[in-house]
Structures are given as structure tokens and as C-alpha cells.
Amino acid sequence: MLKKPIILPEGYPFIIVALLLGVIGLWMKWYYAAVVPFVLAVYFTYFFRCPPRNDKITPGDDVLVSPADGTVVDVCHDAKEDMFLGQTCHKITIFLSIFDVHCNRSPMEGKITYQSYTQGKFLPAYEEGVGFENERGAIGITGKNRSILVILIAGILARRVVSWKNLGDSLKKGELYGMIKFGSSTELVVPRNVEITVKKGDKVVGGITVVGRVKEQ
């Protein structure tokens, strides 16, 4: 199971630069101006946090957990998915605000059998249709008797989709596999034999909140 420090290394450049600007401001005796970069350094430290949850993952082979922290902004029950699954699916869209944890976790155990990265625009992540226009990274996970697709979508502030796993790698349920810097959204696309257990407006926690349950065949 992949482990990451409580403060992600991806945030170090932002934190260090902000601190340096604050120190320069103090050295130049721009005391009031120096407050701004110090506040930003605190925020960047908060934003790039990665709470340890590997021992808190919701168990059960028949349940799918949320891939991200955030708010469910849409649940579509007739999404056409031609990228990986090639069928009509359920799609859950989760919006991650700039105050949410931005680490993404695998909804189930399996192997990455599909991976893609697409450059695009940087529209607000909560707007309808951004999954087709914005920068995004997708992974297809194949497990026991099912496959799912998870798509990380960059938002208006986000400028990079980060992946810590590659094609062919195995994932444990709830394992960390990537992040998006700053505001973004995550889409989870699952087959129709999965019963969706969340609705629009629900708050979800990555690796813990159950978002779907596989129906008995």
C-alpha cells in the first residue's frame, strides 16, 4: 500500500517560495506585506496535507469507496462511456474545493489496465461538461468480476494532474494513486450492476465513504 508523508512533496516548492517571500519582506521591513506570503505558506501546508487513512479503509469486496474527499455534484445513471468500459454506466462526479484533501484513492482493489492523460482547458471544475474540455487524467481499474474508470479533472486553478501509479501497477482498495493541484473534480464511472449509494449534495471522504454496492448476480 502506497504511503505518503502528511505534507505531500508536491507542495514543498509552494511552501518554500511563500516562506522565502515572507522572510524577504521582513528583511526589507515591509512588515504588513510580509504577512501575505506567510499566510499563503500556512494555506499551502494545509492544502497539500495527506491524512493517513490506510488503516481506516472501509472493508468489503462488494462495496466501492469514494476516490476523493468533496461534495457529490452529480449522479448520472445513463452515462455513455467509450474510453475504457465501452457501455452505458453510472457516473458520480465529486467536486473538490480548495479546502478539501486533494489526494485520490482507489475505490476498489485491482490492476491499472488503462491509463490516459489529456491536455485541455481550465474551466471551473464544478461546471457541467468540464470532463470533456479540461485537462484530465484517467485510470481504468480491473478487479474481481468488474472494471471501473476514475477520471481526475483539473479546475480553473489546477494546472497539473499528478499520478503516482503507472499502467500495470496493482492497487489496494483505498490506496493513494494521484492528486490534482488546487480546485478540481473526480469522476467515478461504474457498470450498471453497481447500486449507487450517494446522491447529489452528499459529502464524501476518500477511502471511507461507500459510494456503490455491487448487486448480486
Q: What share of the chain is helix, strand, coil (3-state, %, to 5)?
A: 20, 40, 40
Per the model's pLDDT, the better-predicted residue between 64 and 97 turns out to be 64
Instruction: Encode pLDDT of 4-27 as tens digits.
Output: 889 999 999 999 999 999 999 999
Counting residues of the chain whose pLDDT is more than 90, the rounded percentage is: 74
Q: CA torsion angle for 165, 169, 173, 179 (degrees, to 10)?
A: 10
- Domain-wise residue ranges, the chain: 9-47, 63-214
Q: How confident is the model at residue 137 (pLDDT cuts 50, 70, 90)?
A: confident
Q: How confident is the model at residue 136 (pLDDT cuts 50, 70, 90)?
A: confident
Q: How confident is the model at residue 217 (pLDDT cuts 50, 70, 90)?
A: low
- What letter would DSSP give residue 197? -
Is the pLDDT at 178 greater than 80? The verdict is: yes
Active-site entry in 106, 147, 163, 184: 184
Instruction: Encode pLDDT of 194-215 as tens digits.
Output: 999 999 999 999 999 999 999 8
What's 63-214's CATH class?
A: mainly beta
Active site residue 184: yes
The DSSP code sequence of 53-69 is -TTTPPP-TTEEE-SSS
- Integer Cα distance of 200 and 74 in angstroms: 5
**Identity of residue 139:** I
